[in-house]
């Protein structure tokens, strides 16, 4: 699993500062983490730099590992960078230019899942899109980990970036709940993704990938050794970032974020209970932003989808 992880975790820390890790809720099996945007030496917070960092990682997110490995091999053979560059452009074209797109949040979930939680993406859903102006139906990402006794922990991802944090909490857990609590059957919300995983789950190494796909083969005993877990990313507006002309202080932003996180524990707990997710392992990623709408606009601009 570790060998399949992509990217340097330290580059994530350039743009997102961890202010809280592994906060818990009594009566629930969640771990809550909080990252704030970093403050530079000028006291500025710039979502555009975060968006540009995200853009530079789109091939790892949107291109299947096998396809990327083939491109790298061709470039090495011909002492070129053409094949990988072409995939980068292909990855960018797979994103929608819709103003209310949630794909920036999905991309941010991917980066935090792989570089912070150390959970590799095992299903590349962007490669399955048939219309760039549509979102792929299903979870916002599928990630995996393994317990010491060989149980596959399948993490269904869901991201919501809203102006109001309360709306984000409600919509995020309502969206992810069916993937985690519905009984296994052909009409289950997760069934389409499970079928795709049996054919397209990818961890780069052919031997490891073959072993992984057995967990999604209904005729294999390994299919009974899958535990459903979740990753929920909630981005929201926060008023403790500096406004134009005002210098921000990282310590003050972190202190305010921690205080807000304490206040968010109650609505998070209530929504988990309402969705019957009390006993489900979920990694909750809280991302306060200067502006949720500004984050979407910055991402679309960095991707070259808007002026």
d(CA 84, CA 153): 31
**CB 279: neighbour CB atoms within 10 A?**
11
DSSP helix/strand/coil, 63 = coil
Q: Which residue has the higher pLDDT, 196 or 117?
A: 117
d(CA 80, CA 133): 32
Environment class of residue 147 by beta-carbon count within 10 Å: exposed (0-12), middle (13-18) or buried (19+)?
A: exposed
Q: Which residue has the higher pLDDT, 234 or 127?
A: 234
pLDDT at 131: 53
pLDDT at 208: 87
Taking only the tens place, the pLDDT of each residue in 90-110 is 998 888 877 667 889 999 999
Torsion angle, alpha carbons of 272, 148, 138, 283, to 10: 40
Strand blocks (E) in 108-175: 121-123, 141-146, 152-162
Taking only the tens place, the pLDDT of each residue in 262-296 is 999 999 999 999 999 999 999 999 999 999 999 99
pLDDT value at 26 more than 60: yes
Ranges of each domain in the chain: 2-43+102-296
Phi, psi of 124 (to 5 degrees): -90, 95
Cβ pair 222, 210 in contact under 8 A? no
Confidence grade of residue 198 (pLDDT, cut at 50, 70, 90): confident
Taking only the tens place, the pLDDT of each residue in 45-96 is 989 999 999 999 999 999 988 889 999 999 999 999 999 999 999 998 888 8
Which candidate, 249, 203, 231, places its Cα nearest to that of 111?
231
Residues 6+ apart with CB under 8 A from 254: 17, 19, 36
Average pLDDT of the residues of the chain:
91
d(CA 167, CA 161): 9
pLDDT at 132: 52
pLDDT at 306: 80
Task: Count Cα neighbours of 266 within 13 Å in the Cβ-side half-sphere.
Answer: 4
143 forms beta bridges with 121, 155
* Cα maximum dimension of the chain: 63
């Amino acid at each position: 699993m570790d060998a399949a992880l992509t990217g340097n975790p330290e580059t994530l820390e350039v743009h997102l500062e961890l202010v809280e890790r592994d906060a818990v809720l009594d009566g629930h099996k969640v771990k809550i983490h909080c990252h704030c945007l970093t403050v530079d030496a000028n006291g500025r917070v710039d979502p555009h730099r975060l968006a540009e960092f995200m853009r530079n990682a789109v091939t790892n997110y949107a291109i299947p590992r096998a396809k990327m490995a083939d491109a790298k091999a061709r470039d090495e053979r011909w002492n070129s960078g053409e094949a990988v560059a072409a995939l980068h452009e292909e990855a960018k074209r797979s994103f929608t230019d819709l103003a209310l797109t949630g794909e920036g949040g999905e991309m941010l979930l991917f980066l935090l899942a792989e570089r912070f939680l150390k959970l590799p993406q095992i299903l590349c859903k962007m490669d399955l899109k048939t219309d760039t102006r549509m979102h792929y139906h299903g979870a916002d990402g599928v990630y995996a980990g393994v317990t010491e006794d060989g149980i596959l922990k399948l993490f269904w991802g869901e991201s919501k970036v809203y102006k109001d944090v309360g709306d984000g909490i409600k919509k995020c857990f309502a969206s992810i709940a069916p993937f985690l609590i519905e009984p296994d059957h052909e009409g289950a919300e997760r069934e389409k993704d499970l079928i795709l995983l049996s054919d397209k789950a990818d961890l780069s190494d052919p031997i490891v990938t073959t072993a992984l796909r057995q967990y999604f083969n209904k005729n294999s005993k390994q299919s009974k050794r899958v535990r459903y877990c979740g990753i929920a990313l909630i981005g929201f507006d926060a008023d403790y970032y500096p406004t134009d002309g005002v210098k921000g202080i990282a310590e003050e932003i972190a202190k305010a974020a921690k205080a807000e996180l304490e206040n968010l524990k109650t609505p998070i707990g209530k929504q988990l209970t309402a969705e019957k997710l009390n006993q489900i392992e979920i990694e909750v990623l809280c991302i306060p932003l200067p502006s949720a709408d500004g984050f979407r606009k910055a991402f679309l601009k960095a991707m070259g989808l808007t002026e």
